[in-house]
Structure 1
Amino acid sequence: MTTKDDVRQVLHRSLAEIGIPGIAAEIKDGDHTWFTTAGVADLHTGAPRVPGEHFHAGSSGKAFTAATLLALEAEGHLRLDDTVNAHLPGVLDVNGYDGDTITIRHLLSNTSGLFPTGLAPEIGHRYATRSGFDKHRFDTFTTDELLRVAVSQPPVGAPGERFEYANGGFYIAGAIIEKITGNSYADEVHRRVIQPLGLTHTHVRPTTETGYPTPHPRGYSHQFLKDGTDPASVTPENWQSLLEEPGLPPLDVTEFNSSLGHAAGNVVSTTTDMLRFFTALTTGALLPPAQHRQMWTTVSTEGGHWIPRSRYGLGVFELDPQATGGAILRGLGGSFWGSYVFTVGTPDGRHAIAVHTNTEWKTWDLMFNLIEAEFGITVRA
């Protein structure tokens, strides 16, 4: 049996152990919810974290993209097994990719063979160092630019062969939404996900927006390479060894243009809305049964630079029951400069936790420790 004190202890312990300025957690357990925090929302003023704060939801936005495409499938506008060339002819036919073999399902499950988009030199040269980030923080990416970045490096595998986390697949998925509907990605996500679920504090961030609605925490980042590092030399295996030396003050990254996220993750939300969104996805309240089943049909993430001992669906994940003592837990989450968020809960949506830190992901220990504290299980990563 766990208590609220167990969760609070994990939050407070994580501040120093992981280096988090402030953390907020909202928990739903049956018909009851409660909210708790540790640390601060603003390092300068010492202001505390408070309920209702808006934050960048990172790759949790992938679930919004997947849900929108699944809704379009339910209406007969497409099939998940349509090839990319069926909707965007030629976009993938470069650098060894084949748009006639990569499907929408491949894009949404990160099994397309696309390389890890965050390692593209075009991105690294702008944002990999703190001086580069400061210089380029208000740059705007167009959809065409993002589509070029998505295929700027050769494939890491054949379609369907393996899992590799790739934002570029979701850039392409977002472009397919726009091509099919004739509307903007943001408008379609609002129409098919945000509005039906009553997510009144959630929106897809427009390219003109560089701040957040009130209230919101300041965002702080240490996610930078040492000055002089060649971004082209960075790999999924060595990037952590190339990070700045510890002890440097964080960079305040609250104000920046996050258009780089696009359909791979550019949603602003709150812990309350993330709990509501997760509940709708895990219970099937948003999508018809056939599409709900497809969203939660998962593939192994082993070797694909994602959560250890997990499986990935379409924009969502499940923890391997062998790692949780048989417990079934589902989730969504993501990280961006100055923001890390995850929502994890039971398939029936009755018990879930939404957590946000005002710095990016640093370790899976935070999520696993909070799962252990809240759900009373041991997680073996």
Structure 2
Amino acid sequence: MTHTDIQQVLDWAVAEVGIPGIVVEARDGDRSWFGSAGVADLRTGAPRQPGEHAQIGSGGKAFMAAVLLDMEAEGRLSIDDPVNRWLPGVLDVNGYDGDRITVRHLLSNTGGLYATGLAPELTSRYGTRAAFLKHRFDEYTTEDLFRMTVSQPPVAEPGERFLYANGGFYLAEAMIEKITGNSFAEEVERRVFRPLGLAHTYVRPAGELGYRDPHPRAYSNQFFQDGVDMASVTGENWPTLLEEPGLEPLDVTEFNTSWLPGNIVSTTSDMIRAVSALASGALLPPDQHREMWTTVSTEGADWLPHTRYGLGLFEFDKAVTGDQTLRGVGGSYWGTMFFTVSTADGEHAISVHTNIELKSWEVLRRIFEAGFGVSIGA
């Protein structure tokens, strides 16, 4: 590991990109390293530190997929079951067909669901600073999330192509709870957290608005200009509608995240442990591990560059990494960005957190290139 090079990237990210605080934890065999830059709290100047709790955002999708694959190994379901087998009628709305969309489609973002993260139901509540302050503590029920999932018509046929959609994972979570009779929190604790020794990872309880100590404050500049018609926001035009750069970030630490798939909080150390196990096959049986890493191209989907997507996780395209297989999870939303990547043998892993949303892909690219000693493309 080239720690000096990684530290230089962290310092650059704070000084030039405008990230309040950033941490990286890296493990290579039995060696580990922790680096940081910037602050955990802009008001007090408190530094970032190891062991901080933070929301992993869409990283929760990997845990959801792991639970369902473990259930498949037990014979509780097949990931090729149609959604209607377990949630009859939920998808038979607005042009969707729950007999044609499968569990595999949901977990691989290939079900043709539209980009739920851009749903007017979300963007109208959080899209501007004023709206965020008014709605930051709103609670979402399962029924609310189902309605949001199908509130816009399909954008592709089932299995046609990769299109990132949180809605598929709202359905996946509901399936877990219906089939087992337990909450997702109970099942992921029993099947993933406990076996992997993730002592600092938890599903955020209903109504919990902050984080367990230690934790950084969370800040955001991810807001649209006042007056933007949220119904007009698309995956292509949203960058042009953002507020002017240079405004002070808003403290968004206290935030009801009941709309996030999985709603999981973790630490860089725990995420290294989790992603290393999922990347290497240390958690799931061989058949389910192969299913998790049967990937589809994300090209043309306005998503992470140079990646393929499995079931809840991504893999960098070997066209840019060469012989090295790099697998990971990531999530970014208001006030947090959490990415963790591991080699396929689980021996070398790097976890990155910023207390602001993803500001630039270049930050991650430079860290992973320095840490893994490969090129992953611009």
Kindly report which structure 2 residues correspond to 1:243-322, keeping only aligned pairs within 5 A, or say none: 243-261=242-260, 264-322=261-319
The yes-or-no answer on 1:149 pairing with 2:148 is yes
Question: Secondary structure at 2:148's aligned position in 1?
Answer: helix
Aligned residue type for 1:339: T
Aligned residue type for 2:101: I
Please say which of residues 10-19 and 159-168 is displaced more in the overlay: 10-19
* 8 Å contact from structure 2 (residues 220, 251) kept in 1: yes
Deviations 1:196-240 (A, max 9, x none): 111000001122110000000000000110011011000000101
* Aligned residues with identical type, % of pairs: 65
Q: Distance in 2 between matches of 1:57 and 1:331?
A: 12
Deviations 1:292-338 (A, max 9, x none): 11001100001222111110000111000111233211111111211
TM-score of the two chains, using structure 2 as the length reference: 0.99
The yes-or-no answer on 1:359 pairing with 2:356 is yes
Question: Secondary structure at 2:228's aligned position in 1?
Answer: coil
The yes-or-no answer on 1:229 pairing with 2:236 is no
Deviations 1:72-124 (A, max 9, x none): 10111000000000000000000000000000000000000000001111111
Aligned residue type for 1:331: G
The yes-or-no answer on 1:330 pairing with 2:317 is no
The yes-or-no answer on 1:78 pairing with 2:77 is yes
The yes-or-no answer on 1:349 pairing with 2:361 is no
Deviation, 1:17, is 2.4
Deviation, 1:11, is 0.5
Kindly report which structure 2 residues correspond to 1:80-95, keeping only aligned pairs within 5 A, or say none: 80-95=79-94
Deviation, 1:3, is 2.5
Question: Secondary structure at 2:62's aligned position in 1?
Answer: helix
Aligned residue type for 2:152: Q
Tell me the residue number matched to 2:171: 172
Q: Distance in 2 between matches of 1:229 and 1:3?
A: 44
* 8 Å contact from structure 2 (residues 82, 98) kept in 1: yes
Deviation, 1:379, is 2.2
Q: Distance in 1 between matches of 2:375 and 2:88?
A: 48
Unmatched 5+ stretches in structure 1: none
Tell me the residue number matched to 1:114: 113
* 8 Å contact from structure 2 (residues 40, 48) kept in 1: yes
Q: When the two structures are aligned, how many residues end up with a matched partner?
A: 378
Question: Secondary structure at 2:350's aligned position in 1?
Answer: strand
The yes-or-no answer on 1:139 pairing with 2:141 is no
Aligned residue type for 1:84: V
Q: Distance in 1 between matches of 2:220 and 2:123?
A: 15
The yes-or-no answer on 1:375 pairing with 2:372 is yes
Deviation, 1:357, is 0.2
Q: Distance in 2 between matches of 1:171 and 1:133?
A: 22
* 8 Å contact from structure 1 (residues 114, 157) kept in 2: yes
Aligned residue type for 2:295: T
Aligned residue type for 2:355: N
TM-score of the two chains, using structure 1 as the length reference: 0.98
Detail structure 1 runs of 4+ shifted over 4 Å in the superposition. Answer: none
* 8 Å contact from structure 1 (residues 300, 311) kept in 2: yes
* 8 Å contact from structure 2 (residues 173, 262) kept in 1: no
Tell me the residue number matched to 1:238: 237
* 8 Å contact from structure 2 (residues 112, 160) kept in 1: yes
Deviation, 1:265, is 4.2
Q: Distance in 1 between matches of 2:167 and 2:203?
A: 18
Q: Distance in 2 between matches of 1:366 and 1:344?
A: 14
Q: Distance in 2 between matches of 1:204 and 1:168?
A: 18
Q: Distance in 2 between matches of 1:147 and 1:189?
A: 21
Question: Secondary structure at 1:133's aligned position in 2?
Answer: helix
* 8 Å contact from structure 1 (residues 56, 336) kept in 2: no
Unmatched 5+ stretches in structure 2: none
Q: Distance in 2 between matches of 1:129 and 1:154?
A: 25
Tell me the residue number matched to 2:97: 98
Deviation, 1:192, is 1.0
Please say which of residues 320-329 and 53-62 is displaced more in the overlay: 320-329
Cα RMSD, aligned residues only:
0.9
* 8 Å contact from structure 2 (residues 272, 342) kept in 1: no
Tell me the residue number matched to 2:186: 187
Question: Secondary structure at 1:311's aligned position in 2?
Answer: strand
Q: Distance in 1 between matches of 2:195 and 2:163?
A: 32
Q: Distance in 2 between matches of 1:234 and 1:159?
A: 24
